[in-house]
Amino acid sequence: MITTSTFEVYEKMFFIFLEPVERKDIAYDMSTEITFKGPVEGSMKMFLTDGLVSCMVQNMLSISDEEVSDSMREDCAREATNMVCGNLLRNYDSSNVFSLSIPTCQKNNQGDLMPACSEPQADLWQAVFDSDGETLGVLLQMQRS
C-alpha cells in the first residue's frame, strides 16, 4: 500500500515517476512527519533529497528552479506527506474516518541517514524510491487503536 499510494500522489500531483530501490540507509536533506488516529493510529515519515523536493515544487507550480524558495520546498514536502498518508489510509479503510495531524518538516543538517528497518516488523514498514538519482524514503508505523 505504501508503494501504490506514493506512486499515485507523485505521478498525479508532481509528475514524478519513482522506482522502488533496495537501499535502506539513505542520506536525506529534509524529513517530514504526520501522525494519524482512527481505527489504527501511527505516523508516516518521509525522507527527501533537496533535488527531489525542488523538482516537486517546479512541476506542481510550473516555475523555474531559480524561483523555488526554501519555504516552498518545506510546504510542498509537508503537503506530499499529507497526500500520501491520506491516500494510504483511504486505501487501507475507506469506510472509517481518520484524524491527521498537521505535517511537520525538519532540515537534516547533521548528515544523518534515514533510519533503516533491518528486520520486518509487524507495525513498521519502509519503502525507498529513486527518481533520476534523487531519493525518497517512507517509513510507516501503524498499530490498532
Q: Which of 99-103, 112-116, 140-144 has the lowest mean pLDDT?
A: 112-116
Asked if the model's pLDDT at residue 138 lies above 90, the reply is yes
Does domain 2-144 fall under CATH 3.40.50.720? My reply is no
Q: Which residue in 16, 43, 8 sits closest to 126, CA to CA?
A: 43
Pick from 47, 27, 43: nearest CA to 35: 43
Count Cα neighbours of 141 within 13 Å in the Cβ-side half-sphere. 10
Task: For residue 68, give the C-alpha cell.
Answer: 523555488
Give the model's pLDDT for residue 131: 96
CA-based nearest residue to 7, from 140, 130, 142, 118: 130
Length of the chain: 145
Among the residue ranges 57-61, 123-127, 136-140, the one predicted with the least confidence is 123-127
Average pLDDT over residues 106-127: 81
What are the residue boundaries of the structural domains of the chain, listed by start? 2-144
pLDDT one-digit tens code per residue, 38-93: 999 999 999 999 999 999 999 999 999 999 999 999 999 999 999 999 999 999 99
**pTM, full prediction:** 0.93
Average pLDDT over every residue of 104-114: 89
